[in-house]
Amino acid sequence: MKALAPKFICHGCGAVVDMALQLPFACPRAAAGDDIDHVLAPEDGAGFQPDPRSPADPFLRYRALLSPYRLARAAGLSEDAWAEFVGELGEALIEVDGHGFRITPMTKESSLAQAAGLAVDLWVKDETGNVAGSHKARHLMGVVLYLRVLAAGRLPAGQGLRERRLAIASCGNAALAAAVIARAAEWPIDVFIPPDAPASVVRRLKDLGATIAVCARRAGETGDPCVVAFRHAVQKGAIPFGVQGPDNGLAIEGGRTLAFEMADALRGEDITPAAVFVQVGGGALASAVSQGFAVAAANGIIAQRPRLVTVQTAGCAPLARAWRQSAGIELSALAHRRSQAMWPWEATPASIAHGIIDDETYDWWDAIKGMRETGGAPLVVGEETLARAWELARTHAKVGVSATGSAGFAGPLQAGPESGPVIVIFSGAER
| Contacts to ligand PLP by CB under 6 A | 134, 172-174, 243, 279-286, 355-356, 358, 404-405, 427-428
Strands across the sheet with 16-18, in order? Answer: 16-18, 7-10, 40-42
CA distance 66 to 179: 22
Query: Which is nearer to ligand PLP, 24 or 133 (by Cβ)?
Result: 133
Angle at 103 between CA 93 and CA 151, to 5 degrees: 45
Query: Which is nearer to ligand PLP, 9 or 177 (by Cβ)?
Result: 177
Q: How far is CA 100 from CA 141, 184, 227, 254, 339, in A?
A: 10, 10, 28, 15, 40
Name the minimum Å distance from CB 379 to ligand PLP.
14
- Read off the amino acid at residue 288: A
Name the minimum Å distance from CB 52 to ligand PLP.
30
Query: Which is nearer to ligand PLP, 166 or 425 (by Cβ)?
Result: 425
Name the minimum Å distance from CB 389 to ligand PLP.
12
Q: Is 43 left (phi over 0), alpha (psi -120 to 50) or beta?
A: beta
Name the minimum Å distance from CB 406 to ligand PLP.
9
Q: Hey, which residues does 307 pair with through a beta bridge?
A: 275
Least Cα distance to 233 among 158, 285, 181, 166 occurs for: 166
Query: Which is nearer to ligand PLP, 283 or 349 (by Cβ)?
Result: 283
Least Cα distance to 383 among 359, 349, 416 occurs for: 349
Name the minimum Å distance from CB 82 to ligand PLP.
26
Query: Which is nearer to ligand PLP, 90 or 282 (by Cβ)?
Result: 282
> Collapsing DSSP states into helix, strand and coil, what is residue 391?
helix
Query: Which is nearer to ligand PLP, 86 or 201 (by Cβ)?
Result: 201
C-beta nearest to ligand PLP: residue: 428
Name the minimum Å distance from CB 355 to ligand PLP.
4
